[in-house]
């Protein structure tokens, strides 16, 4: 059962000009604007939203040129022009988009790992992309996709006081996947953009929050994680799979619930 986590921003009244500034400054969980679809590059590759056909689990692009079908227990398969279904080896949620390119389609499956523990829990998702063509599917990339983790940080009334009622450490990671519109020929390039942050302020799972100094009003904000807020461009390799233009950071605070 998927754990649904909400990131809550706590606001506390200020008692000084500096505190008032911190309290009124905008502070929200990390977010990225949705990609406007359809999106095309200069080579004619196109990224589109899959549209549901009928009342079942069939979602298609280009009319019914490419259809992604969802079955029991997270099974996902792909069919071209109403032909035989190609089962994808990964189980999970259907990625809501597809990239149509030169007689092939890039589709995806979202896998989510969840963890619960006393006073908190978390979930982390990865997106596995497949290129489907000629009745076969090849995995081309696995991308970090989303994460939300909430860790209890108050166990006594003194803890609650020292943390100004901000009684959980929160870690949020979001992403968006889009086409590189500068491509003028050949296969599509895929751009991954991410945003990550923590609350209250900059926290890390490698340190015990209770060992920190007492929180102040200025700490009750979301802090952007510059390392885990990044952009990578994935390009096809000669062997077929895609590779990023630079190594990805581990971001284990977010991606390992």
Q: Which residue has the tokens 């030169």?
A: 102
Residue 3 pLDDT: 37
Is residue 14 situated within a structural domain? no
Residue 21 pLDDT: 32
Residue 210 pLDDT: 78
Is residue 185 situated within a structural domain? yes
What range does the domain containing 147 cover?
A: 30-255
Q: Which helix (H) or strand (E) holds 168?
A: strand 168-179
Is residue 186 situated within a structural domain? yes
CB atoms within 10 A of CB 94: 20
pTM for this prediction: 0.87
Q: What mean pLDDT value characterizes the chain?
A: 89
Residue 76 pLDDT: 97
Is residue 116 situated within a structural domain? yes
Residue 19 pLDDT: 33
Task: Give pLDDT < 70 ranges for the chain.
Answer: 1-26
Is residue 11 situated within a structural domain? no
Number of folded domains in the chain?
1
Residue 26 pLDDT: 52
Residue 209 pLDDT: 78
Instruction: Please provide the DSSP assignment of 188-203 as one string.
Output: --EEEEEEEEEESBS-
Is residue 51 situated within a structural domain? yes
Is residue 4 situated within a structural domain? no
CA-CA distance, 196 to 173, in Å (whole number)?
4
Is residue 1 situated within a structural domain? no
Contact of 166 with 186, CB cutoff 8 Å: no
Q: Residue length, the chain?
A: 257
Residue 136 pLDDT: 96
Residue 169 pLDDT: 95
CA-CA distance, 124 to 115, in Å (whole number)?
9
Residue 20 pLDDT: 35
């Amino acid at each position: 059962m998927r754990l649904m986590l909400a990131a809550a921003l706590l606001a506390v009244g200020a008692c000084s000009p500096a505190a008032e500034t911190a309290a009124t400054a905008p502070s929200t969980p990390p977010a990225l604007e949705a990609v406007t679809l359809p999106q095309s590059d200069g080579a004619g590759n196109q990224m589109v939203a899959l549209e549901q056909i009928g009342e079942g689990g069939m979602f298609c692009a280009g009319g019914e040129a490419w259809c992604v079908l969802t079955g029991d227990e997270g099974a996902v398969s792909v069919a071209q022009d109403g032909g035989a279904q190609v089962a994808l080896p990964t189980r999970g949620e259907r990625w809501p988009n597809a990239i149509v390119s030169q007689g092939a389609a890039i589709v995806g499956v979202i896998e989510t790992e969840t963890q619960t523990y006393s006073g908190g829990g978390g979930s982390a998702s990865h997106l596995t992309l497949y290129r489907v063509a000629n009745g076969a599917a090849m995995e081309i990339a696995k991308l970090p996709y989303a994460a939300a983790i909430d860790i209890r940080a108050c166990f006594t009334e003194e803890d609650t006081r020292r943390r100004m009622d901000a009684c959980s450490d929160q870690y949020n990671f979001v992403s968006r996947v889009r086409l590189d519109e500068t491509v003028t020929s050949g296969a599509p390039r895929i751009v991954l953009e991410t945003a990550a942050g923590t609350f209250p302020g900059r926290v890390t799972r490698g340190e015990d929050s209770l060992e920190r100094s007492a929180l102040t009003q200025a700490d009750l904000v979301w802090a952007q994680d510059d390392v885990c807020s990044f952009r990578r461009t994935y390009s096809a390799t000669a062997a077929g799979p895609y590779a990023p233009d630079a190594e990805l950071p581990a971001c284990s605070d977010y991606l390992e619930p």
